[in-house]
Structure 1
Amino acid sequence: MELLTVIAVTATGAGLAVVLAPATLGVTGFTAAGIAAKSVAAGMMASAATASGGGVLAGSTVAVLQSAGAAGLAGSTTAVVAGVGGAVGWLTATAAGLI
């Protein structure tokens, strides 16, 4: 039974991460229409622009998150998100004494 619990917890963590990642991007302000005014993303963009002398550098965290918010996650990124979600699910269940 313990193996089935591990599989269920890991799969649930992976699935939730894949579903929640795009929603989290939108809520924080990384949208298809651009960075939402007065959002967490806007604050990140302002900080990044100030740090780099006025612009947001290509490949920076803000640029990558905005790209994902606008176009969605690539297949490879979705796989990484699922892997991290599964690991977090397993670690959480282990810490809670479920497995």
Structure 2
Amino acid sequence: MPPQQTNIASETGGDAARLRLDLSTILSLLRRYWYAFQERRQRPRVTLQDLSDRELMDIGLTRGEIDYITPERAIDKLRERATDLWSRGGM
């Protein structure tokens, strides 16, 4: 059987054009996500402590329940106590 002739040049050119299109689309998406990420980082954060009592009541919380929900605050309090003990020579 004789070898078949193929038009490799046109197939390669089409793949290269498709690859450029895909790459530019991907880069465009990455750029948009990066700008959105940067914008999100610059926004001020609102914590539960910043909410009014009315806003806390709207989401079903009281000010006293915040410490139970956010363990970071409890850990911070423990760190402060340990730092105070170390600074006073208690440990």
**TM-score normalised to structure 2 length:** 0.32
Max Rg structure: 2
